[in-house]
Every structure is written in structure tokens, then in C-alpha cells.
Structure 1
Amino acid sequence: MCNDDLSPYETVPPASMISIGYPGPRPDFLTDAVDLHIHSGPDAIDRIGTSIDIARAAAAAGMKAIVLKDHLFPSYTKAVLTDQAVDGLRVFGGITMNGTAGGIAVRPVLAALAGGARVVMFPTFDGIRYVQKKKPGAIQLQHSFGQQITPILAVEDGKLLPHTEDVLQAVSDHPQVILSAGHLGPEEAIPIMRRAAELGIANKVIEHPNSSDWWSLDHYQQLVDCGTTFNMSYNPYQPIMGRRNFDELVELIGQVGAENCNLITDGGQPYNPMPAITMNVLCEMLYFQGVALDEIIAMAKTNPARMLGL
């Protein structure tokens, strides 16, 4: 049979036909899946596509929702427009409190909430853990544009700084919003999440803790005790980016509990597939490694959908 008239994608057999070495029939991981952390264009650095490109791919795969995350700009504006432009999928965004978006300050957060932001994220590359890294990564350096970054502190000597308290008070008035620790380390994230729990903030997440060595099992337990969940990312196992052993994630999910985890791609890089494809790969890797199907479904669908109120 000649496949000259078919695209390269059409020559690939459907997933249901590929079963060698696979533990039983291939489950449907993407229908109603939710990805809480995706990078998209337009952005300050190259992305695999615009927010509309990425949303269309997710909708075609049957996903329920995606959340757009930008380091340097609020993402809620393009999310609101993308949500209107792409049928069959909900698209959400937020604000990351790096210096280019106003830092940790209540006024930019209030403006973002008024504009439809669903995620309020503490600093990423402007947090002290990243600013003081001895060997900054390539993506971190790209986002600095050659400028010296002054670290933005949320907590000092174990105590929340006043601007952090102001932000938490603002988020507490919006029960549908997700509070994210960004790239903060445990010395800042744990006090923040404890205070957020005191204020009744239900949706609290730590971003891709499986990508660093900052977090101990004791840290995880302290965070679980105050109702925090963990966005477990694919990227630490991507050959260009993390190069970590995938068995670490399987073990970690078993230790902290699938009920406390969401699966995210943290995708959108030009050297990754479309995030919808990456989400499927992540789920299949977990399934092949013996993680229970109901736990994968909870982490890819049920848990993140609940956080978004879907």
C-alpha cells in the first residue's frame, strides 16, 4: 500500500493498534483531561505555538481544559480570548508575580482577578531560590535578558511579609482561584500555604516539585496537612530538560498519594510535542510503570477539574 498521499501523522497507526509490551488495552487518557500548566505564544521566548494553536490541539484530543502560564506577563488576557476562539475546551490563565508583572503586590493581583485570572502564582525566576542559583539554566537566563535580577521575597525568617499577606487576603475573597507557590522553595512555600489554609483558600498547589531536590517527604507531609496539592510535571524526564529517572515520580506518587497530585505537562517548548501529546505520553509512562489506572485518571482528570470548578 502506498501512503504517498497521507500526511506523516496519518501513516502512524492509531494508539489502539499498538499493544506490544503494553499491560492490556490502551486506556483513553485524554478525553476530559485537564492540564494546569502550559506555556504558549506569544511570549518573550520561542514556544511551539500560540495559545490558540495549543488550545485547538487540546480540543481535538478531547481534553476538558488547559491553564496558560507565562513567567513575565499575565496570561489571563490571552486565555480569555482563546477561550472564546476555540470551541470544545475551557482555557484559563493567571498572573505570575515576577518583577515584570508587578512583583508580589496586591494591586496587580486585584486587577488580574477582576480580569478573569484563575491562578495567582508567586515568583518563579525572580524568587530567591532561582536568583541565587550558582548555575542558572538556559530558560532562566533567557528570561533575564541579561539583566541583574533582584530577588522578590515572600517570606523572611519564617514570617510572611506584609505584601504576601495582602495578596493572600485578596485571593481568599475568590474561592474559584488557584494559589500557586511558583518556584519558591519550602522555606517560603510552606508558611504561605499554611496561612492560605487559615484564610480558607482551598485550591493550593506546588509547581513541579519533582523537578528539583528541594523537597523532602517531611515537606510534602506538611503541605498535605494544610490541604496543598502537587503539580507533577513531565519535563524532568524530557531528555533535553531534566534527564531525571522516571521511577522517582512513580515512587513519589506512591508516597504522597495520587489524591494529592495533578499531572501537568509544563509544555509549550519548541522541542516538546504539543502539550496534549505530552500529557498522553506522561499518562502512558505511568501506566506502563504500574501506576493504577484510577490513580492516573484522578491526577489527569478528576483532581485538576475539581480545582477549576469544572
Structure 2
Amino acid sequence: MNVVDKPVKNWRETDPGMVDRIVKGAVDLHCHSGPSVMPRYFTHYEAMEEASEAGLRAILIKDHYYSATPVTEMLNKHFKHLGVKLLSGVPLNNQTGGLNIYAVEHGIALGARLIWMPTFTSANHIRHHRAAGEDFQFPKARKKMLEPKPLTILDNGGKLLPEVLPILDMIAEHDVVLSSGHLHISEIWPLFEEAKRRGVTRMICNHPTYVIDATTDDIRQLASMGVYLEHSMCMFAENSKFRFYDPPILDGLIKAGTVDKTILGSDLGQVGNPRVVDGFRNVVSLCLDLGYSEDDVRKMVSTNAAELIGLDDEA
């Protein structure tokens, strides 16, 4: 008599509390709260409250036009009881003087944990923006702003500009994170290679397949040189205005960069998009559905980010 195998139960049946358990202690290195010239659904303090309710360990506030570090330092002091560590960094866009070492020095002195190479005012971002025309789907400022001055980190010969080098030295000296911002992958290679030569040990490439134009092979090579690959939850989460990719794409990206070098950041906070915590729950569920273990998913939403940003160094 043949024995009929029983249906295999999935995690939703066997352990329905797994998602909340993974979200508790998560670290979001890509939170877009306000005040901002972009439409945001919550303030920096409200982001802290939302994270606290779900048990997130830390969130890093990202604004493309200013460093939120003075605000995060103040909120950490006055609302420590919420149990959430707020972090921020310095974006090297036109509004902070571009490739401005003084902005880097000042930000780090205030407690900045990450330096973003140019994002919205990078020449690469602007090229993508203009090529897509009115259909370009990145958030726009509420009011029209001055035309940006396109920023690149390379000279006409493809070498790093002289002003980039002391910035890399300062990042290395203070052991903070270097983000490649919205530079093109062709700019990112010489940036990270020189950064490593100068002693930078903490590096991240944000949404490598969106605007950055990194290939799967690029992602493999970046991971092999110690770079973390951060994929934006807003590009995979249900009901997101920026849901550009299906789950199998995320699976391929994780496998290319490895679980150990993959970070999943929300990249949420925009008006009309899911809440940050809902984005986490949705994408954590997605990863479990793809077959990743609880430990693997925790690495991608918590452990890896904590290690990169140095949270455990404070213990």
C-alpha cells in the first residue's frame, strides 16, 4: 500500500508569529521621514514612534538635501525610552556643497554614521530623470527647485577627482560608512577600489539595479570585495508606487550578492506608499515565501545592517 505524503505546511501555518519576531530588532538604513521638500507621511519623531511600536532596533534617516544628524542626536537624547536608535548621515549633493569635505567633517563631528556620494544631483541620476521625462517615478519636491548642477566623481579621463580623495581619507579615519549614492556603476568601481586602498572598510551600494545600472555580475563582484548591497523594499512591497520588481528578481539579487552581504532597507516614507513597518512585514513575508530561513531573513533586515553601521561596536 502506497503511503500518501501529507502536504507540507508553510511558515504561515506552522509559525504565524515569525514575521513579527523577525521585524523586532530590525535595522532600517533607508528611512525617508520629514521635514523634507519631498512629500513625507511622517516626521522624524513619528518614524521613531512607529519603529518603537514594532520593536525596530534602529533607523537611519535619509534626506537627499540635508543631514538629519542634529535632529537624530536630539531625539535620541530626549526619547531614549522608545528604545530606537536614530542615525543619519551626510548627502553630498548641491545643497551641502557637493563634494564638500567641510560638510563631511562637520557631519561626522555631530555623529553622522554614513556619507552618501551624490544622489539626486548626481549626473547619473539627472540623466535617468531627463531620459524618463514626466514619467520618472522618483519622488519630486513639492515646489519646483533650481535646476541641479550635475555632479560626478570622475574627471574626463575616468580618474577620481582630487576632492574625492580627502573625503575617502576622512571616512576611513572615522570608520563611517561610504555609500555610492546614485552614481553610475562605472563611477562606483573606481570609488570603492580607491576607498579600499585608503582604508575604508564600511561600504554600501544602494538599489544597485535601479538608476545605478549594476548587472548581476557587478553585484557578485561588489559583494566579493566586501560591499553590502542594499535593495529597497519599496521596489518589492505590495501597494508601493515604486513596486518595479517581482519576487523572483529579489531572489536572484540576494543569491548574486549572498545573504551575508545583502541588506533590505525600506526606502519608504513617501506620501501614498506603505508605512515603513508594513513594508518590512511585507518583504520579510516575501523572503520567507521564497524559501529563506528565519536566520537568513534576520541577517538581511537586521544583523548585516547593524554590523555595517557599527551598532554592535557600541555595546
Same fold (TM over 0.5): yes
Q: Tell me the residue number matched to 2:210.
A: 211
The TM-score with structure 1 as length reference comes to 0.88
Higher mean C-alpha displacement, 184-193 vs 242-251: 242-251
In the alignment, residue 169 of structure 2 is paired with which amino acid?
Answer: Q
Matched, 1:98 2:88: no
In the alignment, residue 159 of structure 2 is paired with which amino acid?
Answer: K
Higher mean C-alpha displacement, 106-115 vs 212-221: 212-221
Matched, 1:61 2:21: no
What SS does the corresponding residue of 1:35 show, helix, strand or coil?
strand
In the alignment, residue 103 of structure 2 is paired with which amino acid?
Answer: P
Matched, 1:129 2:124: yes
In structure 2, the CA distance between the partners of 1:241 and 1:179, relative to structure 1 (3 Å rule), is same
What SS does the corresponding residue of 1:45 show, helix, strand or coil?
coil
* % identity of equivalent residues: 25
Matched, 1:45 2:44: no
Higher mean C-alpha displacement, 206-215 vs 87-96: 206-215
Residue 147 of structure 1 and its aligned partner are, at CA, apart by 2.8
Q: Tell me the residue number matched to 1:183.
A: 182
Residue 213 of structure 1 and its aligned partner are, at CA, apart by 7.0
Matched, 1:112 2:107: yes
Does structure 2 retain, via aligned residues, the 8 Å contact 1:61–1:276? yes
Deviations 1:92-147 (A, max 9, x none): 00111010111111111111111111110001111111112211525454388243
In structure 2, the CA distance between the partners of 1:49 and 1:195, relative to structure 1 (3 Å rule), is same
In the alignment, residue 306 of structure 1 is paired with which amino acid?
Answer: E
Matched, 1:307 2:304: no
Q: Tell me the residue number matched to 1:12.
A: none
Q: Tell me the residue number matched to 1:287.
A: 288
How many pairs are equivalent? 291
Residue 260 of structure 1 and its aligned partner are, at CA, apart by 0.6
Does structure 2 retain, via aligned residues, the 8 Å contact 1:210–1:249? no
Match 2:26 to one of 16, 27, 33:
33
Equivalent positions of 1:237-252 (< 5 A) are 237-238=236-237, 239-252=240-253
Higher mean C-alpha displacement, 270-279 vs 135-144: 135-144
Give distance in 2, aligned partners of 1:255 and 1:37.
21
Give distance in 2, aligned partners of 1:208 and 1:274.
19
Does structure 2 retain, via aligned residues, the 8 Å contact 1:54–1:274? no
Does structure 2 retain, via aligned residues, the 8 Å contact 1:211–1:242? no
Equivalent positions of 1:148-227 (< 5 A) are 148-156=147-155, 157-175=157-175, 177-212=176-211, 214-227=213-226
Give distance in 2, aligned partners of 1:144 and 1:219.
37
